[in-house]
Structure 1
Amino acid sequence: MPVRSAVLAAAAGAALFLPAAPAATAAPTDTPADTPAVTESVTVDRTGRVAADGTVTLTGTYRCTAADGAVFVSSVVRQGEDSSVRHGIGGTRAVCDGKEHRWTNTGTLSTGALKPGAANVEATLMELRITSGLPLPSFHARKDQDVKLVAG
């Protein structure tokens, strides 16, 4: 399990420093007109939870098509006047079958790091592709959403 945690942490860290992908990517334009375009997307629910012990839970949906590597939904949240401070909140393994799925990310921060109230969440649908033996991020979709954190 430590390897998975390290991969998720690396993926979340990479998401903070690499350019974001567009919110949705349409299918190639050579698709026949009567075939609906398949899009990849990620959404963030407008309400998140923050418990008294610092546990934060964020949720939303995602949709992705075939992928060569492992795909994850990562999320970061920021709150307050110092919006440059971002807190990584978990990572969920994604199933890329073209269907819409729910995601839930949970992470525990120091008590008081986040409080009930307005916040901003960035969710990223990211694939780790193995290139020359290294897992490198490939972004499928990104969503920036203002949310309300509630106690609980």
Structure 2
Amino acid sequence: MRTIGRRLALTAFSALTAATVFTGSAQATVFDQGISVQPYGHISEDGKVTLSGTYHCQAASPMGARLQISAAVVQDGTRLAFGGGEADCDGQEHEWRATGSLKYTPDFHPGQALAEAQLNEIHFSGLLPRSVDTVAEDRQEIELTTHH
């Protein structure tokens, strides 16, 4: 009987330890996630810049969390960041496209720029975001072209 009590106590302790160790990781996400940005972007005649690429992610995100794509372009010291929508996390590769207005940053022009894409896990507390974790990121020099 004494051995059963020790095993039960050891099992309970192991479960508590595992719960403690993995509680911090419960907010983290699975490792099989990624995002890429294409080596080119487009500037439209109506004053918008568009970036695109691909992403993949798993559905095993914590309850109350959403995965969203964000993009940014930097040129001549000016940075423009914009959203790319919510990610469809089914383990498959998907294309993404994000468009930002140049209304307040009209100095963007065809030529070299730095593009960034992030896959962000947003944790909510009720209706409000509680925290944001970047789970995948790509950053590279691109060519901005005029798109007609």
Q: Give me the TM-score of the superposition, normalised by structure 2.
A: 0.69
Structure 1: 4+ residue segments shifted above 6 A? none
8 Å CA contact 1:122–1:144 kept in 2: the answer is: yes
> Which residue pairs with 1:112 in the alignment?
106
Structure 1 SS opposite 2:37:
coil
2-structure distance, mates of 1:149, 1:138: 28
Q: Which runs of 5+ in 2 are unaligned?
A: 1-28
**Structure 1: tracts of 5 or more residues without a match:** 1-24, 28-38
SS at match of 2:109: coil
1:59-96 Cα offsets, whole Å, 9 max, x none, are 0000111223221110011002x2xx310133221011
* Number of residue pairs aligned between Structure 1 and Structure 2: 114
Q: Match for 1:113: what amino acid?
A: D
CA shift in 2, pair 1:96/1:26, >3 Å: closer
Q: Following TM superposition, by how much is the alpha carbon of 1:132 offset from its aligned partner in structure 2, in angstroms?
A: 6.8
Q: Which has the higher helix share?
A: 2
Q: Distance in 2 between matches of 1:123 and 1:57?
A: 12
2:70 — aligned with what? 74
Name the TM-score, length of structure 1 as normaliser.
Answer: 0.68
Tell whether 2:121 aligns with 1:127. Answer: yes
Aligned-CA RMSD value? 2.0
Pick aligned residue for 1:54 from 47, 53, 78: 47
1:44-69 superposed Cα distances (whole Å, 9 cap, x missing partner): 00111001332111000001112232
**What is the distance in 1 between the residues matched to 2:127 and 2:100?**
29
2:101 pairs with 1:96: no
